Amino acid sequence: MKTKIIILTLLMVLVTGCNLFNQPVEHNIYVDEPSNQELKVGAWNVQVFGKTKLAKPGFKYNFEEVLNTFDLLAIQEIRDASGGVVSYLESINGFDSVCSERLGRSTSKEQYCVLYDNNFVLKDSRVFPDSNDKFEREPFIAYFEGAGKDFIVLVVHVKPSQATAEIKELQGVIDYAKRLYFDEDFILMGDLNADCSYYDEGLHYLRDYEWYVGNDVDTTVSKNTCTYDRIISSMDLGDANAYRFDMVHELRGMSVKEVSDHYPVYTKINT
């Protein structure tokens, strides 16, 4: 009798142990979805976002899987003279969009597009008037109402070889937008190339504001550990990180590198 009891006890321990080991593992490299009191905003450099990428099997599905986790997402590196990418972005259900004209000194021009859901109302948008030609691609400015407040969104894709000079000049863009809208609240985000060989993180440019994506966050898909993509703000925002979508979503027909060489970065606005 005692032998049967011992055997039964051992079986129960083994079954319980297996169940424990089969529990899902939580990853701390991406954040949970926002609650009803939070709105998720961010920026994503979708590497060479043109007709070729748009036509790849699975791309639209994978892109929209990521987009649908955001309430506002600023897209960079749209390279498409035909306008097909912008038309696609404008057609996505559940989101409105506002886009810049094609920008850049060379023939390889880029556009910015900000996609946003019905939690936000666009009040104004424009390209920064870069009369002194300080930027390869002039920053894009959009003024929104949402989360119970008005605030400015500034989007920029900094030229890698000129990262230090362009980041230094971003204070002038912030000042311009503040004067334009009589508002101190802003979120500056995008691929600033603000790390590794392009930028010394010890520099003090824009240090009057909070850098919400920390220097220890890898925003690239490659083996390099670089925090190129940033969110800088005068506002009191929530958690911020890189969104490792390849660990959250099951990608269709593409590797993560085929989607982009950057992860989106995000933060949360409390409502």
24-38, 65-79, 134-148, 246-260: segment of lowest average pLDDT: 24-38
* Structural domain that includes position 221: 35-270
Residue 21 lies in a domain: no
Is 26 within the bounds of a domain? no
Residue 126: pLDDT band by 50, 70, 90 thresholds? very high
Phi, psi of 196 (to 5 degrees): 55, -135
Residue 23 confidence class, pLDDT cut points 50, 70, 90:
very low
Q: What is the pLDDT of residue 8?
A: 40
Decide if 29 is inside a domain.
no
Check whether 208 has a pLDDT greater than 60: yes
Q: How many domains does the chain have?
A: 1
Does pLDDT of 248 surpass 50?
yes
| 19: in domain | no
Say whether pLDDT at 28 is over 80: no
pLDDT for the residue 91? 98
Q: Which helix (H) or strand (E) holds 59?
A: helix 59-67
pLDDT higher than threshold 60 for residue 27 = no
**17 domain-assigned:** no
pLDDT attached to residue 37: 82
Helix, strand or coil, per DSSP, at residue 138: coil
166 CB contacts (<8 Å, ≥6 apart)? Answer: 134, 135, 136, 156, 158, 159, 192
User: Could you give the CA distance from residue 127 to residue 169 in angstroms, rounded to a whole number?
Assistant: 15
Q: Span 124-129, mean pLDDT?
A: 98
Question: Is 263 a member of any domain?
Answer: yes
In the chain, % of residues over pLDDT 70: 87
* Region 136-153 average pLDDT: 98
Residues in the chain: 271
- pTM given for the model: 0.87
CATH number at residue 156: 3.60.10.10
Please determine, for residue 20, whether its predicted confidence score (pLDDT) is greater than 60.
no
Q: How far is CA 198 from CA 10, 220, 230, in A?
A: 59, 14, 14
Per-residue pLDDT at 33: 57
Amino acid at 260: S
**Residue 20: inside a domain, yes or no?**
no
78 pLDDT tier (thresholds 50, 70, 90): very high
Task: Evaluate whether residue 192 is within a structural domain.
Answer: yes
Sign of CA dihedral 172, 122, 88, 255: positive
